Structure 1
Amino acid sequence: MSNFITTKDGTRIFYKAWGAKDAQPVLFSHGWPLTADAWDAQMVFFANAGFRTIAHDRRSHGRSDQVWDNNTMDQYADDLAELIETLDLHDVILVGHSTGGGEVTRYIGRHGTARVAKLALIGAVPPLMLKTEANPIGLPIDAFDGIRKGTFDNRSQFFRDLTLPFYGYNREGATISEGIREEFWRQGMMGGLKGQLDSIRAFSESDFHADLAKVDVPTLVLHGDDDQIVPIGASALSTVKIVTQAVLKVYKGADHGLTQTHQDRFNADLLDFIKG
């Protein structure tokens, strides 16, 4: 089942919802430059486990409207709030990967946890990816300028090349799935170039310290220690120092796309956290 909501600024946001409507909801937020389809295996797994599973395409990504303005982390969070309120979700489990981890964190910062039971941050960008005087362990702006240039100059080729570090396929002995690479490319090319360029700034320069300080629900922080996209030091290891109810789980040698490369292990660990 798939549908759209229309936000206050007139943007149509695509979402799909699987499983029993009266079951506890698990809401998945995808990474850049992907879509809700990145969570299909998790949606099926958790729907079969008795939950209602929901995933949306962020504005300017996938099947949602491609907009010129308002491709910001605050707006992403407000779109998520409108989706949650429209579907009247309560006791929801928020799961965010990469940029989606920023989205769900900013949602809590702006809208609180009245409707939230638990939070899971997977390879997530908080608290701040960008290197600054106050955040010397972040990545330099040149790294993100390179992503912008690659996306603008030849988005199709850049997305194909990005799959190698994203899934750890550039590591010695890695088993490469061409199907996963093609699916990443397909999802990325569904989005709008302007919105994807704006999103690079949103995920790299947004500071989530204040948002994390407002998280007052049990939180799983799960990360691969060989994540080449969102290095663990400036993200997960920093997040658990801020969130009082955080539990850290590190996958040794795992990559940024571990929800797919370590799919069964990840599904089991997330289920344990939700039921725990």
Structure 2
Amino acid sequence: MPTITTADGTEIFYKDWGSGQPIVFSHGWPLSADDWDAQLMFFRTRGYRVIAHDRRGHGRSAQVDGGHDMDHYADDLAALTEHLDLRDAVHVGHSTGGGEVVRYLARHGEGRVAKAVLIAAVPPLMLQTDDNPGGLPKSVFDGFQAQTAEHRSTFYRELPAGPFYGFNRPGVEPVEAVIQNWWRQGMMGGAKAHYDGIVAFSQTDFTEDLRRISVPVLVMHGDDDQVVPYADSAPLTAALLKNATLKTYTGFPHGMPTTQADVINADLLAFIEA
């Protein structure tokens, strides 16, 4: 399997298919590069080079004890882009991966980057604070951690079967294969990485990171996102960015790159080619 070893000795798995302008995909919690299958195949057949990695502790990457924070996630992404010597890249991040992309751009600069896309992403800040009253209470994320530590297999079945893909909404038919694929990806990763990652995606404040970014950014979010609620994420993110386009999808769930792949892929392609 293709891997790189980071400065702190962590082995990171990645996929690198095709040629042409590179598009780099950063996945959500607690998944893997496999969550981008629909996008990798779509863009690979349209002449793009597609790259996706498994975040440390996720998928096929090393299940290390530490480094499960946004700085390390960004540094790992930087190590991959430097190893592959990517230029003029488009970075696409979903959910936690959106935070990873934002921190990467702010921490490592935009010299290798042409554009970025944030899909149902966690910035600016998910946690409810005095300065962010619309965020989610810490008790929500404490519950996520407890379920991850105590009965991860059950939790990883309930989340995709319900709010992640909107399968708990009236009239929405659950897709069993999609639920099972989410569970499969989640259970491939390490419980410690996933436990710590909940703090990383919920408590990291990306406000200053967003203000530093100047490349064009497409912010895509469904207004029925039950995991990263729309009102406290996408509009605030777009307002902080220097060069943002906000695209809101009526009724789309958090996992829209999978369940609404045809719409998302078409809009991604239009943004990249603009």
Distance 1:41 1:97 in 2: 13
TM superposition score normalised by structure 1: 0.98
Name the counterpart of 2:172.
174
| 1:104 and 2:101 aligned | yes
In structure 2, what is the Cα distance between the partners aligned to 1:233 and 1:67? Answer: 35
Task: Report the equivalent of 2:81.
Answer: 84
Q: Is the 8 A contact 1:102 1:124 kept in 2?
A: yes
Q: Which amino acid aligns with 1:72?
A: D
Q: Supply the AA of the counterpart residue of 1:110.
A: R
* Partner residue, 2:187: 189
**Alignment equivalent of 2:142, drawn from 145, 156, 161:** 145
1:247 to 238, 245, 248: 245
Q: Tell me what 1:235 maps to.
A: 233
1:237 Cα deviation after fit: 1.0
Q: Which residue does 1:42 correspond to in 2?
A: 39
1:159 and 1:193 map into 2 onto residues whose CA distance is 11
Contact 1:18 1:44 in 2 (8 A): no
Q: May I ask how many residue pairs the two structures share in their alignment? A: 273
User: Percent of aligned positions with the same letter in both sequences?
Assistant: 58
RMSD of equivalent CA atoms:
0.6
Instruction: Identify unmatched segments of 5+ residues in structure 1.
Output: none
2:163 aligned partner, one-letter code: P
User: Is the Cα contact below 8 Å between 1:212 and 1:242 reproduced in 2?
Assistant: yes
Match of 2:16 in 1: 17
Q: Deviations over 1:168-212 (max 9, x none)?
A: 000000021000000000000000000110000000000000110
User: Does structure 1 residue 130 correspond to structure 2 residue 130?
Assistant: no
Equivalent of residue 218 in structure 1, options 216, 219, 229? 216
Q: How much has 1:53 moved relative to structure 2?
A: 0.1
Q: Is the 8 A contact 1:112 1:214 kept in 2?
A: no
Counterparts of 1:44 and 1:17, CA distance in 2: 12
Provide runs of 4+ in structure 1 moved above 6 Å.
none
Alignment of 1:159 onto 2:156: yes
**Alpha-carbon offset, residue 146 of structure 1:** 0.9
Structure 1 residue 32: Cα displacement: 0.2
Partner Cα separation in structure 2 for residue 144 and residue 101 of structure 1: 18
Which runs of no fewer than 5 residues in structure 2 stay unpaired? none
Partner of 1:200, secondary structure, is helix
Q: Give the deviation of 1:70 after TM superposition.
A: 1.1
Pairwise CA distance, 1:19: 0.9
In the alignment, which residue of structure 2 is the partner of 1:26? 23
Shift of residue 234, structure 1, vs aligned partner: 1.2
1:153 CA drift (Å): 1.1
DSSP-derived class of the 1:165 partner: coil
Measure, in 1, the Cα distance between the counterparts of 2:193 and 2:78: 20
